[in-house]
Each structure stands twice: as structure tokens, then as C-alpha cells.
Chains A and B, each alone.
Chain A
């Protein structure tokens, strides 16, 4: 894996794009959803796991419909403990909730999955699995292909088919050998619940499948064909994503520095001299860190001139003078989100400016093969949309802008509004900045230490190589 920004695009512009093309949809707002259904013991779980482990995309999640078993009341729970409750009929599963969760994920929102305990036959209270930003979702369960609404969300429907006697043999060996259950109970459960439901409800879902995988001892070829198909679909998606990102970098006629949302640091004597130091070849790391931090403090101070303030502060000075309607800034309403790794160069200056500032992180890297930026993880302060009035997204260097675009989208997905987002970047290219402006219709304020415009880029190639964070941290 390499860092997302590393891949500078080499496309030249061919006329200006239409206004409506200027929008951005990250890969997780259109996740690829695969349903894997089949009767109990058919081997669908192993097919699903094989798919997950074979497609090389981060944030591929495997969701089991088992999570959505309905919580049982006291009477049903007693039945369940005596093996008299029918867990195999469609009604036992909360398909409404499953639909809501998958539908949220399909729309790029965060979803909370319940956790079901087979020991207590109830949902585990206060516990849930949070899923956000998935690019590929594999939904597995006997009724994965049962509900029409779920089927409509799926891009690929797979049914794993096995003869019922094979299923029974698998169940028996699993339940008796692995789970220590007794033979009679297992057979009884099979005959009363599992088999009738399989015949009545599960088998018919085969008709909705795009592919039917035989569950014989060796189904490697069939599974491999399936995986090849999925990979080719994902490749097309990823190419479209990259093409979209490239397109967003096209320029309009307005000079970049005239954009009301673009705020470049005023090139004062000190700023110019610091900039000269920072681009000097073989500058010692001590000096690099020192001058980076100095510039970062100036930049951060500029950013903080644009945060919200109140004019209702009353105070008395030690001389006993009462002062009314004084300006005050709620520094604790400001949070920062650093894009790992180059955004972390700002940690020291953030702490020196607002000592207890909440700092979140996101990791976005580009796939080493396709170059597509991918969200790997996000740690955001809790209740980010309610608790903060400004959120500073930091990055040391913007080359293509793709990682920053994704990071902004992560905030939007967490209900943070545009007016609260400030982008702060030490060094940026015009193309990267334009891409961010275009992706979000010029709604995000961007504060830049050093901006290299398209005109000057060909004499300033250093601006398109990633060096800020490697110099700052001392590792490539």
C-alpha cells in the first residue's frame, strides 16, 4: 500500500466540465453488495468467507443474518432452551431491521448491527457492531435471498446448493463433534424445523440467484469463477472512481487565488524565508521540523481568525474596570481531524494553540495496484456533529486531493455540515485544491500554507512529490 496522494495525475484538461458533473460519490456510498443464501449446512458460510478473503479490497465486511435474530420473550426463550423453538422460519429473523441496516450502508451511512447471544437467546444489551465506509458487503444467511427489499439492494446474489442429506450430515458432525450436542436432539430439530423450512422457504429462493454454487467437496472452480467476476466488477467501479476524481481536477477560468474559499498564507518576509528553508534539499531534520512547526503556527492562527465567536463576555480587570460585550471564542468547540500520516505533522502546533483540542484521525491510502484511494479507518470524536462548531481537517501536503475529498465525505456522512469544515494544508497543488472545490461545489474553506499553481508547477516538481511527512517523521 502507498499513501493515496502519491499518485499525481497526469491528465490534461479538455475543456470545462458541466456543472452537474461536479459532485463526488465516494466508493462507500455505492458499496457492492453480495448476498449468499442456502440451506443450513449447505456450506454458504465457507463460500462467503472465501469471497471475503479473496477480494483484495479494504473494508470488505461479512455480515451474518444471525445477528438479526429477534429477541425472544420469556415463553419463547423457554421453548428455545428445550430445542422447541423454530429458529428456521423466516419470522425468527428481524428482516426489517436487516433491511434498514443494509440500506443505510448502501447509502454510505453508518449502521449499528445488533449482537445476538445464542446462550441467552436474546440480543446482547448495550452491544452493537458499528459498520461504516464499507466498499464491499457480503450478507450471508439462510434467508439472505428471501426478502424482496434486500434483494433489490444486492449487486450479486449467490445461492449455495446442496442436497439435504449432505446438509444433515454436515449439521450432525458439526453439532455433535464441535458443539457436543446429543444425536437425538439434533435429529429431532432437523425433522421438526430445519428440513420443513428449508424445503418450504429456503430452496425456493434459489430462483432469485444470479449464480448457484454447487456444494460438493471441491467447489473451488465455481467459487473462483465467482470471485473473478466480482473482481472485474470492482475494478470497473474503481476505474470509474479514479476517472471521476481526475475529472474533478479540471480548471475553470477563475484564477485559483481569486476563489473566495481559498485562503493562502500571506507571503510575508518570514513566510517566504521559511518556505525557502523547507524546500531546500538535504535540510537537517531538526531544521525541517522547527520551520514546519513555525509555519504551522502561523497557518493555524490564520485558521482561528475564522472560527465563530461571541460578543457577550463580561469581565472585570484587576484594576476594577468592568468590560462588557467582549469577544470570546469557545476553543473547546473546535476539533481537528488529521489525515494519517501527513496531517499528524500538525499535532504539535495544534496542542500549542489549543492544549486540549480533540484530535480525530482518518487513514486513507491508495491501492498499490489501481491507485484508487481507499478509506481504511476513522477515529472521530464522539458526537462530532453536535459537540463542535468547527472541525479542522489537516493534511501536510495535497497533491491529487483525493484523500482530502474522502475525509470531507467522512465528515458529511457523520452529519457534519459544510459550514463547520475547514481544510488546513501546509503545501498544495492547484489541481488538488480545485478537485476539492469542485467535489463539494465550493462549499469548504481551504487554508493553505504554500500553494503552487498550475502555471508554476512545471518548474516546481517538488510540490508533486511527497516529502513533507517523510521529512517530518524521518521515515519514507
Chain B
């Protein structure tokens, strides 16, 4: 179970295995195949942790020995929403746990004129207001684009307490700013970093996640 340094922040148990995985992806000398593989492993753990917060309902089933097994079943529909491009790296991890999950996309980029984040594109499931939403973006630095994306979801009728924001690393600044806007959204993360540098990058960080996962 997660420790809770802040309300509504669920930090994965800091096991030696998890720390070992982070050592690999933080290291700038790690080549892309390894970066992808070990990021995917962390993503899988984040998804499993997120899914564990979803409610279940009692369900009795018959076993092959014709006994009644008192078990539970998943309750409620879910969907994923990834923030293009880095967030898309987390889609497969979600699919590995929920095979036919619907996945919406949001593209947010910095407006060259105003230097503020601007929404360029959104495609979301039509019944998204009935669903639990896993918002996917690997880094929570300043929180600018995550706040804008969450705003889009809420305007579409999604309840804040049904949103789970999954990321690999976040900063205290980012959490504070994000939770100031949406205190009820649950953040599921694997690492809390010291802070941001002048360029607003997470430190120690792991570089530009999208670049390392897709390009360099």
C-alpha cells in the first residue's frame, strides 16, 4: 500500500526493486531500448496501483468443482487519457492490464505568442463523464499542461474524484500547484523529486521523457 506524504498523492512503495528501476532510467548513459523497457516496468506498477483504487463489487461464481466461490468483480468503466506525446508511452502499460480500454488523447503545446500552454486537440470517449479516467503523463513538473488537460476532462463532466493522474516523477511544486486547482484528483506516482531548475525541468529528473522514449 502506498504511503501518503500528501493527501491524494499515492507514492509507490519505495522498494529496492523500484529504486533500482529508477536508477536505470535516470542514468543519462542508459540507451533507449533499456530506457523503454525499464520505464514500461515502472508504468506497469503505476497502472496496477491506480487500478487498485477502483471499487469492486461482491460476486459469486461457480468453480469447475461446482462449488460457489464468493469473490469480487470489477465495478465501473474506465478509460485512459494521454497527453500527447510523452503520455502516449504509458498507454501500452494500461492496455496490458485492461485489454480493450478506450483511450482518449489531448494535445497541449506552448503558444509561441503568449508562451502559455494552449489546447490544440482533444479526442475523448463520448461517455467519458460516466467513467473513471486514468490521466497519463510521465512527468509532473510545473503542472501547466496537466492542469489544462484536467480542466478539459472536468468540462466534459468527469468527476474530479474519479480522475487518477499517473506519472513517473513529480515535484512538490507541481503537486502543490496541481492540487490547488484540483484537490480531489488522485496523483499516483513513483518518485518525488527535489524541485525544478531554471529551465523548469525536474531535478535530479531523467531528461525529456518523450525524447528518450521515442527519439534519442
A318-B207 CB under 8 A given contacts A301-B45, A329-B20: yes
Query: B73 interface residue, CB < 8 Å from A?
Result: yes
Report Cα–Cα, A313/B25, bound state, in Å.
13
Kindly specify which of A53-61, A218-226, A459-467 makes contact with the partner chain: A459-467
Do the beta carbons of A269 and B56 come within 8 Å of each other? yes
Query: A297 interface residue, CB < 8 Å from B?
Result: yes
Contacts of A91 in B (CB 8 A): none
Considering the complex, which residues of chain A in the window 290-322 have a beta carbon less than 8 Å from any beta carbon of chain B? 290, 294, 297-298, 301, 304-305, 307, 309, 313, 315-319, 321
In the assembled complex, the CB of B157 is this many whole angstroms from the nearest CB of chain A, namely: 25
Kindly specify which of A10-18, A233-241, A275-283 makes contact with the partner chain: A275-283
In the assembled complex, the CB of A403 is this many whole angstroms from the nearest CB of chain B, namely: 22
Query: A268 interface residue, CB < 8 Å from B?
Result: yes
| Most chain B beta-carbon contacts within 10 A, residue among A272, A298, A317, A329 | A317
Kindly specify which of B60-68, B108-116, B142-150 makes contact with the partner chain: B60-68
Query: B17 interface residue, CB < 8 Å from A?
Result: yes
Contacts of B154 in A (CB 8 A): none
Contacts of A268 in B (CB 8 A): 52
Contacts of A309 in B (CB 8 A): 16-17, 19-20
Kindly specify which of B79-87, B119-127, B128-136, B198-206 makes contact with the partner chain: B198-206
Contacts of B204 in A (CB 8 A): 317, 319, 321, 323
Do the beta carbons of B17 and A304 come within 8 Å of each other? yes
Do the beta carbons of A460 and B67 come within 8 Å of each other? yes
Do the beta carbons of B17 and A329 come within 8 Å of each other? yes
Q: List 21 contacting pairs A-B, 8 Å CB cutoff, sorted by A.
A: A269-B52, A272-B56, A273-B74, A276-B71, A279-B69, A281-B63, A281-B64, A290-B99, A301-B17, A301-B45, A305-B15, A309-B19, A315-B23, A317-B205, A318-B212, A323-B23, A328-B20, A329-B20, A459-B67, A460-B63, A460-B67
Query: A129 interface residue, CB < 8 Å from B?
Result: no
In the assembled complex, the CB of B198 is this many whole angstroms from the nearest CB of chain A, namely: 11
Query: B41 interface residue, CB < 8 Å from A?
Result: yes
In the assembled complex, the CB of B125 is this many whole angstroms from the nearest CB of chain A, namely: 22
A318-B61 CB under 8 A given contacts A272-B71, A326-B19: no
A328-B71 CB under 8 A given contacts A307-B17, A318-B205: no
Query: B7 interface residue, CB < 8 Å from A?
Result: no
Summed over the interface, the residue pairs from A and B with CB atoms below 8 Å come to a total of 127
Do the beta carbons of A319 and B72 come within 8 Å of each other? no
Do the beta carbons of A276 and B72 come within 8 Å of each other? yes
Query: A355 interface residue, CB < 8 Å from B?
Result: yes
Query: B101 interface residue, CB < 8 Å from A?
Result: no
A275-B17 CB under 8 A given contacts A317-B204, A317-B207, A318-B208: no
Contact of A465 among B13, B55, B64, B207 (CB under 8 A): B64
Do the beta carbons of B205 and A321 come within 8 Å of each other? yes
Binary CB contact string for chain A from 330 to 369 against chain B (1 if under 8 A, 0 otherwise): 0000000000000000000000010100000000000000
Report Cα–Cα, A264/B82, bound state, in Å.
34
Contact of A281 among B52, B54, B61, B74 (CB under 8 A): B61
Binary CB contact string for chain B from 37 to 65 against chain A (1 if under 8 A, 0 otherwise): 10001001100100111111001011111
Query: A327 interface residue, CB < 8 Å from B?
Result: yes
Contact of B26 among A315, A353, A355 (CB under 8 A): A315
Do the beta carbons of B203 and A321 come within 8 Å of each other? yes
Contact of B69 among A276, A282, A316, A328 (CB under 8 A): A276
Do the beta carbons of A294 and B206 come within 8 Å of each other? no
Query: B28 interface residue, CB < 8 Å from A?
Result: yes
**Chain A contacts to B: CB under 8 angstroms:** 266, 268-270, 272-273, 275-276, 279-282, 290, 294, 297-298, 301, 304-305, 307, 309, 313, 315-319, 321, 323, 326-329, 353, 355, 459-462, 465, 467
Instruction: List the 5 closest A-B pairs by CB distance, nearest first.
Output: A276-B71, A318-B207, A327-B19, A315-B27, A329-B20
Contacts of B48 in A (CB 8 A): 270, 297-298
Query: B197 interface residue, CB < 8 Å from A?
Result: yes
Known: A279-B64, A281-B62, A461-B65. 4 other contacts (CB 8 A): A309-B17, A315-B26, A315-B28, A318-B207
Considering the complex, which residues of chain B in the window 2-36 have a beta carbon less than 8 Å from any beta carbon of chain A? 13, 15-17, 19-20, 23-24, 26-29
Query: B97 interface residue, CB < 8 Å from A?
Result: yes
Contacts of B29 in A (CB 8 A): 315-316
Report Cα–Cα, A231/B88, bound state, in Å.
66
In the assembled complex, the CB of A299 is this many whole angstroms from the nearest CB of chain B, namely: 11
Do the beta carbons of B61 and A280 come within 8 Å of each other? yes
Report Cα–Cα, A7/B53, bound state, in Å.
40
Report Cα–Cα, A279/B96, bound state, in Å.
21
Report Cα–Cα, A463/B204, bound state, in Å.
49
| Chain A residue with Cβ nearest B99 | A290
Contacts of A294 in B (CB 8 A): 96-97
| Chain A residue with Cβ nearest B53 | A269
A305-B17 CB under 8 A given contacts A276-B69, A280-B62, A298-B48: yes
In the assembled complex, the CB of B27 is this many whole angstroms from the nearest CB of chain A, namely: 4
Do the beta carbons of B23 and A328 come within 8 Å of each other? yes
Do the beta carbons of A317 and B28 come within 8 Å of each other? yes
Contacts of A297 in B (CB 8 A): 44, 48
